[in-house]
Chains A and B, each alone.
Chain A
Amino acid sequence: MSKRTSEAARARIAAQREAYRKQERRRRLTMVVTVGVVAVVAVGIGWWSIAQSKSEEVAGNLSPIGLQSDGTVVMAKPGVTSPVVDVYEDFQCPACRQMEETSGPTLKNLATEGKAKVVYHMITIFGQEPAKSNSLRASSAARCIPDGDKWLAFHEKLYENQPSETATGFTLDQLVKWGKEVGVTDSGFESCVREQRNVAAHQEFSNKILGEKKIQGTPTVMVNGKPLDSNTSFVPSALRDAIVNAAKG
């Protein structure tokens, strides 16, 4: 009797084990399928995110660029007066560098296509050292370049070489060197940079902008005076749509 009991028990155990193994196999399959689906979804989201925010390539010759007496720089095809795209940025601000890398080509293309008048306003958003002085040196040096094309090249050069906010950078030597590298041949350029001739004018301009325009931070992009949020200004396709739609409206 005890033997039969134990045989029955063994059979039951074997059946249980078999059932358990099956359950375990099913569990493992479900797990693999789930992980696979999750991985595909994650990659899909990442791919979509990158694809829909791709930067444009700069196409064709840039439209004329001119330094204005107030220190702003206008990039527009002759005769194009609207929509006005005001870009407020600081050479020392990392987000401005990111926006130029991401959306800069779109702004250039829209100006080239005659679909926008782009106005660059270089300001100093920083109140702390050494970032503040870095920004002041850089923006006043840029004002020493009257040629618009070279100004824009210098503008890009500075972003490429942007120092950390917590370190002294944009030294006078560097600014002179980079100016020459982008093709500034003007004999007055070096002394203008070294004597920091435009610091006062730049600071006055910057304070005026910060006071009047209620700039919350840099970069700020305004289309016909209305600020865009960063989900638009940092997404080239959205930025293009916003500006083209402003032209229609």
Chain B
Amino acid sequence: MVQLASDAHASDRLPSAQGPLPWVTTAARLVLGVVLIVAGALKVGAPATSVQAVRAYEMLPESLVQIVGHGLPAVEIVIGALLVLGLLTRVVGVISGLVMAAFVVGIASAWARGLRIDCGCFGGGGQLADGQDPNYFWDLLRDFGLLACAAWIVAKPPGRLALDSALGLTGSPAPDDDEDDGSADADDSSSENGRQGEIS
């Protein structure tokens, strides 16, 4: 009986996970993922410009400039693809959120220090010619929006159309775990009741 009740409870919970919300996660994954793939693809063929764009922020020591400049495009493509596929969604959501946060800090810092650089977000980057103005405000607004996408993905993974669900990698084990424990407890208590009944 108790088991049944707990089953009913579990299936009660399922419909609440349906509805439009998982689609919001899917949309967030697609937006963030596609932007990252495009940003990475535009830079990956010319790592020297990517290194230069990183250096232009004047925030990292030269050794890290090289590593970030060469590595970032590949990282962007890979996490972008994983987001679109919905694979390892929560972990990748956290990583992409950290990456976006780093971009926000970098751009805000360049703005605050009065540097006149292109953010280099989608290739190119570096020093602007006299008479060309940086777009720090719009760059920041965009990155805050993408950061919000990442936060949503971390909060509600993996959404619809995710490989995580197909491969059984989704967060279901944790709730299952809880429910198993719950039903086990319930059964234990019922058996205790039974024993008590026997004794009495």
Contact = CB atoms under 8 A, between A and B. Distances in A.
B24 interface: no
Contacts of A30: 167-169
Nearest to A24: B173
A30 B167 CA distance: 7
Interface residues of B, number: 52
A6 B127 contact: no
B56 interface: yes
Interface of B: 3, 42, 44-49, 51-52, 55-56, 58, 70-71, 73-75, 77-78, 82, 87-88, 113-116, 123-124, 126-132, 167-169, 173, 176-177, 180, 183-184, 187, 190-191, 194-195, 197-198
A6 B52 contact: no
B45 A127 contact: no
**Majority SS of interface residues in chain B?**
helix
Contacts of B115: 165-166
Interface residues of A, number: 53
Interface of A: 2-3, 5-6, 9-10, 13, 16-17, 20, 23-24, 26-27, 30-31, 34-35, 38, 41-43, 45-46, 48-50, 52-53, 93-95, 98-99, 101-103, 125-128, 164-166, 215-218, 230-231, 234-235, 238
A165 B176 CA distance: 58
A10 B183 CA distance: 11
B77 A45 contact: yes
Contact of A231 (B52, B123, B127, B169): B123
